[in-house]
Amino acid sequence: MLRKSGFIVVFILLVGAMAACSSNDNEESSAEQSGEETEAPEENTENQENKDSVENETNEQETEEEGNEEENTEDQEPAYYIDEETAAIHPIDDADENVVLLTIDDAPDEYALEMAETLQEKDAKAIFFVNGHFIEDEEGQEALKTIHEMGFPIGNHTYSHPVIPEIPEDEQTEEIVSLNDKIEEIIGERPQFFRAPHGANSDHSREVVKEEGMVLMNWTYGFDYFEEYQDADKLKEALISGEAPEIDINYSLLQPGANLLMHDREWTNEALGDVIDGLRDQGYEIADPNLIETLE
């Protein structure tokens, strides 16, 4: 009986030992699995950090390239100059002569931002000639900032759009200089181009423009201020062809170096994209006004 009892005790101890070993093995296996799972997130974190680092480097490179493109444009030597007598744009040295210059007056009224977006979509540039009464409120100032930040040069078109020769000289000075001050206050730069309302200058205004370091500019042709061309389809045809038979211009004013006048108007806004395409179809490139020789 004692032997049998002893055997039972020994058997129970052996079973207990085997159970303990099995438990230890399971714990070690569980610990190993737990360790592997702990290491996996660390690897994922490292991979994510590497991915983020690559993306950051790519973004920094793209930003740097965009900045370099802007600097390159600014650093380029002038390729064109404005003939003050004819308002045409002429090449310097071997620059392409088959170009036309686009200019937009009375900005930013109602459609200037849309026109700027159309130009940007078409990869075309223009000078926006600004009036002071359009940038007195916050909305106008924000529109001006946006147009400038899109890379379009800002020109001076006087503060309140008077007929310059009909006002006293001190008012002529105020109309030009006060607008330069206002524009500089908003975008941090003074305009480098001036266009008088109605193309009417005086000897005094010319002198003020020169003292302010601006290029005086009129235009070679433009039709959107005539009642007969206050229609997008008619205006488009006239600007592309250079002809305006409704106002007795039965010959084409379109030629290399043409300086096209447009305004911040609904019908001009509607026609703009087609005008750009039509001019290019005839072999003309849209000149970059940032490459025009200035006085500063």
- The DSSP secondary structure of 99-149, one letter per residue, reads EEEEEEEEETSSSHHHHHHHHHHTT---EEEE-GGGSSSHHHHHHHHHHHH
- Give the whole-angstrom CA distance, residue 243 versus residue 259: 14
Q: How confident is the model at residue 236 (pLDDT cuts 50, 70, 90)?
A: very high
DSSP state letters, 140-191: HHHHHHHHHHTT--EEE--SS---GGGS-HHHHHHHHHHHHHHHHHHHS---
pLDDT in tens, 170-229: 999 999 999 999 999 999 999 999 999 999 999 999 999 999 999 999 999 999 999 999
Give me the percent of the chain exceeding a pLDDT of 70: 75
According to the model, what pLDDT value does residue 206 have? Answer: 98
Encoded tokens for 285: 């490139």
According to the model, what pLDDT value does residue 296 have? Answer: 72
pTM over 0.85: no
Tokens 């700027």 belong to: 116
According to the model, what pLDDT value does residue 52 have? Answer: 52
Using the Cα atoms of residue 158, residue 160, residue 164 and residue 168 in order, give the sign of their dihedral.
negative
Q: Choose between 293 and 11: higher pLDDT.
A: 293
Please give the mean pLDDT across all residues of the chain.
84
Encoded tokens for 225: 């201020």
pLDDT in tens, 269-286: 999 999 999 999 999 999
According to the model, what pLDDT value does residue 12 have? Answer: 36
Return the closest-CA partner of residue 291 out of 31, 5, 76: 76
Residue 82, Cβ neighbours under 10 Å: how many?
22
Q: Is residue 29 over pLDDT 80?
A: no
Tokens 């070993």 belong to: 21
Give me the percent of the chain exceeding a pLDDT of 90: 74
Q: Is residue 46 over pLDDT 80?
A: no
Q: How far is CA 145 from the centre of its chain?
A: 10
According to the model, what pLDDT value does residue 203 have? Answer: 98
Average pLDDT, integer, range 93-122: 97
Return the closest-CA partner of residue 226 out of 268, 271, 270: 268
73-77 own/partner pairs: CB under 8 Å, 24+ apart: 73/288, 73/290, 73/291, 74/290, 76/291
Q: Is residue 43 over pLDDT 50?
A: no
According to the model, what pLDDT value does residue 75 have? Answer: 66
Residue 117 identity (one-letter amino acid)? E
Could you give the 3-state DSSP secondary structure of residue 92? coil
According to the model, what pLDDT value does residue 76 have? Answer: 82
Tokens 């802007």 belong to: 70
